[in-house]
Structure 1
Amino acid sequence: MTSTSAPPPRVRAALFDMDGLLIDSEDIYTIVTNTILERYGKPKLPWSIKAQLQGRPGPQAGEIFHNYAQLPISHEQFLTEQKELQTKLFPGTKALPGVMDLLAGLKERGVHMALATSSHEGNFKLKASHLGDMFQYFAPEHQVLGDDPRIPKGRGKPAPDIYLLALSTLNKTLEAQGQPPIQPEECLVFEDSVPGVESGRRAGMQAVWCPHPELLVEFKGREPEVLAGLTGAHKDDEEEQLQKTEVEVSQGKRRVGMPGEIDDGWAKLLKSLVDFPYEAFGIMEKRA
């Protein structure tokens, strides 16, 4: 597990998930899935299954879904029907409450920002192209998508790779500007999904979990496990690959690839991003 001998340092960077965190696309995913399930006489998708799909790359989520749904159509046919509905509905995505104020507030406070979404490029464009006011806060080189070739196959969330890659894009920019690099523990990951929180914690970063109300119900009583990244969403082989990798920081060593500990203070649950508590993360006051 991650060493917690010291409190988390001041946040210098914010790394954001997108679906269900910045925009309301998770509700659209639910509408699309339930529409197809209804066509074939299947019940609506329960949150016990949806919770496993959230935050994961498409292929992994698809495998979980099809093992549950047992639809009487081929996987290819499902993808065709799904794409048709998504193409129709995704251009209507909207910012979730508090998001625009939060992004503006972080920029005013000098916090560096990057995007780390499991969405592939095609769907990303459908969901985001009409939301220029939001995505102006993320320079193109600081937008990491789920089909980014720099992410090894099978290493999507809950593996830490996507958040470590997002951080590396910020540090590349800082290096070019002659500024000191940001360490993983100086990053605050914003997530709505359980695998996403685990991804951030396994990257050695701080985290904010802002879940859908129904997801919070699903994990009632297990919130500390989620915040520590201890719900077991990772694969055993991932831990074997990553448990030897360490990152040196001023407070000691924090192990990349390993989760946190219960109540270690490195992650917080927020039911909304409205009126974000900057001071709780050591984020400086607005610049003059």
Structure 2
Amino acid sequence: MAPRTDFPPVRACLFDMDGLLLDTEDIYTLCVNLILDKYSRPSMPWSIKAQLQGRPGPDANKILLDWAQLPISSQEYAVETAALHQKLFPGTKPLPGVPELLTSLSRTAEPGVDSPTVHIALATSSHMGNFKLKTSHLADVFSVFPPHRQVVGDDSRLKPGRGKPLPDIFLLALQTINDSLPEGEAPIKPEECLVFEDSVPGVEAGRRAGMRVVWCPHPMLKEEYAGLEEEVLAGRTGKAGDVDLHQVGELGDGWAEYLASLENFPYEKYGMVIPPPKA
């Protein structure tokens, strides 16, 4: 189909975190492989890893444990995993281009700026404990997300069992923005939102929410889906959970695109005007 080109300017950017803002995916892989090696199991292939990304922890762990067939219970696995997370997550770093992107978007909300504000919110499947582990040493990066616009996997505002690839987390993130807009500013519509995701379930969640999506995956995930990029961008891989086809996109519909990196982001393409840094 012909791609749509008459989109309104983006007024809100909604961000995933793991593997998108932070370099956590290789840390997650290391933690899993350390446990697999301990019990003489083979390392996790990317075909399995791809199914875990973007999902709430309990869902991801079930997929992994069904495949790994470890000689320990799910509770024991969770304890061992948590210990490794405590050790390794405080070393997370922002991925290339992330500080610059967030800083540029936040400048649109500064007092006295003439360009329209681009509101931002966080929508991560990480529960609050892991969120704090990964971000407490990066306060300068995450300070751009007001606390009420940070939606985490165990957020009380989310219904249990409604994680990605379902759209709820992105719709809630948009709601947090609309509920706190300045007086007189019109509510933001889903098609005025741009979702930033690295995972396939996350892309599907964004598409199901009726939002535009930027897919910026780990190079190995991109390799795993070689030849299926259009299906990923449409939310139609069929590998991210039960697919209600009326809720996702069409191949080549122009609502989503792939970027190898968030460096040098093309704001103009999305109708965003970024003011220059203050002298």
Match of 1:51 in 2: 50
Match of 1:214 in 2: 220
How big is the shift at 1:6?
A: 6.1
Mapped partners of 2:220, 2:86: distance in 1 = 25
Answer yes or no: is 1:260 the counterpart of 2:249: yes
**Kept in 2: contact 1:207–1:267 (CA 8 A):** yes
Q: Deviations over 1:38-75 (max 9, x none)?
A: 00111110000000000000111111001100001111
Amino acid at match of 2:48: I
Match of 2:113 in 1: none
Mapped partners of 1:7, 1:16: distance in 2 = 23
Mapped partners of 2:229, 2:268: distance in 1 = 22
Match of 1:108 in 2: 107
How big is the shift at 1:234?
A: 5.0
| Selected match of 2:165 from 158, 162, 167 | 158
Correspondence 1:164-243 to 2 at 5 A? 164-174=171-181, 177-233=183-239, 235-236=241-242, 239=244
Amino acid at match of 2:142: F
How big is the shift at 1:31?
A: 0.6
Under a length normalisation based on structure 1, what TM-score does the superposition of the two structures give?
A: 0.89
**Kept in 2: contact 1:159–1:234 (CA 8 A):** no
Q: Deviations over 1:162-221 (max 9, x none)?
A: 0000000000001x5331111000000000000000000100000000000000000000
How big is the shift at 1:272?
A: 0.5
Match of 1:255 in 2: none
**Kept in 1: contact 2:105–2:274 (CA 8 A):** no
How big is the shift at 1:233?
A: 4.1
**Kept in 2: contact 1:32–1:85 (CA 8 A):** yes
Match of 1:207, SS state, is: strand
**Kept in 2: contact 1:210–1:273 (CA 8 A):** yes
**Kept in 2: contact 1:7–1:265 (CA 8 A):** no
Unaligned runs of 5+ in 2: 109-116
Match of 2:260 in 1: 271
Match of 1:146, SS state, is: coil
Answer yes or no: is 1:72 the counterpart of 2:71: yes
**Kept in 1: contact 2:104–2:274 (CA 8 A):** no
Match of 1:143 in 2: 150
Mapped partners of 1:267, 1:179: distance in 2 = 26
Correspondence 1:13-24 to 2 at 5 A? 13-24=12-23
Mapped partners of 1:264, 1:7: distance in 2 = 12
Match of 1:173, SS state, is: coil
**Kept in 2: contact 1:198–1:233 (CA 8 A):** no
Mapped partners of 1:131, 1:34: distance in 2 = 26
Q: CA RMSD in A?
A: 1.9
Mapped partners of 1:212, 1:5: distance in 2 = 27
Match of 2:275 in 1: 286
Mapped partners of 2:75, 2:257: distance in 1 = 40
Q: Deviations over 1:73-111 (max 9, x none)?
A: 111111111111100001111000000001111122431
Match of 2:269, SS state, is: helix
Mapped partners of 1:277, 1:142: distance in 2 = 24
Answer yes or no: is 1:131 the counterpart of 2:120: no
Unaligned runs of 5+ in 1: 244-257
**Kept in 2: contact 1:158–1:233 (CA 8 A):** no
Match of 1:93 in 2: 92
Under a length normalisation based on structure 2, what TM-score does the superposition of the two structures give?
A: 0.92
Amino acid at match of 1:14: C
How big is the shift at 1:223?
A: 0.4
How big is the shift at 1:27?
A: 1.0
Q: Deviations over 1:103-159 (max 9, x none)?
A: 111122431000000000111110011100111110000000000122112110000
